[in-house]
C-alpha cells in the first residue's frame, strides 16, 4: 500500500515555499504605508466650473480642496501661461466655489470673478469679539490676461457683463453698514 503522506509532503512544502511565502512577504510592505484619514481627504482638490473664452485661447477653472482656500486658475492654451488667484475659503458652510462665477470678457482680455473671504479672514472674524455685527463681504477680481495682474474692488455683491459687446462691466456694491 502506498503512503500518500510521504508523497504529498514534499509537494505541499514546495507549493508553500513557491506560492504562499511571496504573498506574506508582499503583505508586509502594505502594512508599512500610512493609512488614509479624513485629514487626507480634506487636502484633495477638485476642478470645478471650467470655462473657455470666446476666442478659444483661454480656459479657467476653480481648484477647490474639501477644506481650505480655493483658487481660480486661468491658462492660455497657446502660450501655456498660467495665472492663479485666491477666490476664498472652501469648506463646510461656505460657498466660495459657487459664488466665484468666473467669466471671460467678450474680447478675452480679462477674466472677472467674485472673491469670498479666505480662511484667515473668516477665522479672524470669528476671533474678533468686538465686531460681532461685522460680516464677511465679497470682492470683485478683474484679472488682466495680458500680465495676470488682478485688480480687486471691495464690497461687491454681484456683477454683470454684456455677452457680445466688450469693454463694459457693471457691479453692485454692498450696502454700507449702519454706524449707530
Residue ranges per domain, the chain? 49-173
Q: What is the mean pLDDT of the chain?
A: 81
What are 87-132's pLDDT values in tens digits? 988 877 677 777 888 999 999 999 999 998 888 888 887 787 665 5
Kindly report the pTM of this predicted structure. 0.72
Whether the pLDDT of residue 27 is over 70: the answer is no
Of 157 and 3, more confident: 157
Look at residue 143 in the predicted model and tell me its pLDDT: 96
What are 44-96's pLDDT values in tens digits? 888 888 999 999 999 999 998 888 888 999 999 999 999 999 998 887 767 77
Reported as a pLDDT band with limits 50, 70 and 90, residue 29 is low
For residue 39, the model assigns a pLDDT of 73
Rounded to whole angstroms, the Cα distance separating 124 from 130 reads 12
Give exposure, 50-66, as e/b (b: 16+ Cβ within 10 Å).
Answer: ebebeeeebbbbbbbbe
Q: Look at residue 119 in the predicted model and tell me its pLDDT.
A: 83
Please classify residue 132 by burial: count the beta carbons closer than 10 Å to its beta carbon, then call 0-12 exposed, 13-18 middle and 19+ buried: exposed
Adjacency order of strands within the sheet including 103-104: 103-104, 110-115, 139-144, 150-153
Amino acid at each position: 500500500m502506498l503512503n500518500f503522506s510521504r508523497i504529498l509532503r514534499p509537494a505541499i512544502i514546495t507549493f508553500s515555499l513557491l506560492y504562499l511565502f511571496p504573498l506574506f512577504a508582499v503583505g508586509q510592505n502594505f502594512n508599512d504605508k500610512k493609512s488614509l484619514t479624513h485629514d487626507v481627504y480634506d487636502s484633495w482638490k477638485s476642478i470645478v466650473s471650467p470655462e473657455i473664452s470666446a476666442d478659444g485661447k483661454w480656459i479657467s477653472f476653480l481648484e477647490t480642496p474639501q477644506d481650505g482656500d480655493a483658487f481660480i486658475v486661468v491658462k492660455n492654451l497657446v502660450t501655456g501661461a498660467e495665472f492663479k488667484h485666491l477666490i476664498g475659503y472652501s469648506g463646510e458652510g461656505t460657498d466660495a466655489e459657487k459664488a466665484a462665477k468666473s467669466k471671460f470678457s467678450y474680447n478675452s482680455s480679462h477674466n472677472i470673478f467674485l472673491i469670498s473671504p479666505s480662511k484667515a479672514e473668516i477665522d479672524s472674524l470669528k476671533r474678533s469679539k468686538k465686531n460681532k455685527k461685522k460680516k464677511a463681504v465679497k470682492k470683485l477680481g478683474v484679472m488682466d490676461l495680458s500680465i495676470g495682474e488682478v485688480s480687486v474692488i471691495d464690497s461687491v455683491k454681484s456683477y454683470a457683463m454684456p455677452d457680445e459687446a466688450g469693454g463694459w462691466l457693471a457691479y453692485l456694491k454692498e450696502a454700507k453698514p449702519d454706524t449707530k
